[in-house]
């Protein structure tokens, strides 16, 4: 079942994060609690048998604005972009279409709201995955945004569609 990500889901979200990422990418419950409280938040959870098996952390933002790792979802005036900050599915549930089930309704909802773009930072070799979903590398011209991107590691790529 795909549904809105809620504060009660934080223990499950953290378990998915730990199963999917190295320590450098694990973000705290406190950070996620602040994100869920943001008026720009539109994150989703995938639930099976009463447990969180995947999530997509996203919010309404601006094209070219990078959310720093461990950063908050900052509400902006006149958002034009669905920013996909993080999507993860338990490795044991891979291949079940959970990631697509999380992404599709958010992209559809973003278009319905008039958001013209979607953007993300691809990490840990995920650039090819996101390219198959229509994202392409996007040049960041703002120095502050490039610095935020560096915080994700040397292989991080800002992508948009």
Residue 122 belongs to a domain:
no
- Give me the domain span that covers residue 24: 2-116
Residue 23 belongs to a domain:
yes
Give the pLDDT means over successive 10-residue stretches in the chain (161 positions). 96 94 82 95 96 97 95 95 96 95 96 97 94 97 96 94 96
Residue 135 belongs to a domain:
no
pTM: 0.93
Look at the chain and report how many structural domains it folds into.
1
* Residue 37: CATH number of its domain: 3.40.630.30
Residue 55 belongs to a domain:
yes
Q: Count the neighbouring beta carbons within 10 Å of the beta carbon of residue 76.
A: 15
Q: Are 59 and 95 in contact (CB under 8 A)?
A: no
What's the rounded Cα separation, in Å, for the pair 60 and 138?
18
């Amino acid at each position: 079942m795909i549904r809105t990500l809620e504060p009660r889901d934080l223990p499950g979200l953290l378990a998915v994060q730990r199963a999917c990422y190295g320590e450098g990418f694990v973000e705290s419950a406190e950070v996620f609690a602040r994100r869920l409280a943001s008026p720009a938040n539109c994150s989703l959870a995938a639930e099976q048998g009463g447990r969180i098996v995947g999530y997509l952390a996203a919010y309404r933002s601006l094209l070219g604005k990078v959310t720093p790792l461990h950063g908050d979802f900052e509400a902006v005036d006149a958002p034009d972009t669905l920013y996909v900050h993080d999507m993860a599915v338990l490795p044991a549930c891979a291949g079940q279409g959970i990631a697509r089930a999380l992404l599709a309704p958010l992209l559809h909802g973003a278009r319905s709201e008039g958001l013209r773009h979607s953007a993300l930072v691809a990490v840990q070799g995920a650039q090819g995955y996101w390219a198959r979903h229509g994202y392409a590398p996007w040049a960041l011209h703002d120095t502050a945004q490039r610095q935020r991107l560096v915080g994700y590691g040397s292989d991080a790529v800002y992508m948009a569609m």
